[in-house]
Amino acid sequence: RVRGAKMAAGSGPAARELFAEGLLQFLRPAVRQLDRHVHSVRESQVELREHIDSLATELCRINEDQKVALDLDPYVKKLLNARRRVVLVNNILQNAQERLRRLNHSVAKETVRRRAMLEAGGY
């Protein structure tokens, strides 16, 4: 019976609020860290795309300047294909970062709401 009374007391609204607050505090740093990593990867993707563009341009220039016919078109196509994939990954990362931003905002809003509720309830 004592154990059942403890469980009943520990499962009330205050306990649920405390658990929710703890869960939000636990998730917030992970969401922020993930957001920073996604941002860093997106910056790297932009740099990579710029390097691919530069290399493709340089290969086209070399191909035009060569007196001996070198067929660099397949390499240029491969670079452009790689660039397309980088852009695709960058778009996916951008969408993921936006979802993370919204999640972080929701977590912060919920934390403020729960804190205000706890303070108003006198817990």
Report residue 88 CA to chain centroid gap. 15
64-119 residue pLDDT tens: 777 666 677 788 888 889 989 988 998 998 898 898 888 888 888 888 888 788 78
**Residue 42 contacts by C-beta under 8 Å, 6 or more apart in sequence?**
90, 93, 94, 97
Dihedral sign from CA coordinates of 100, 102, 103, 105: positive
Spans of all domains in the chain: 11-69, 70-122
According to the model, what pLDDT value does residue 9 have? Answer: 47
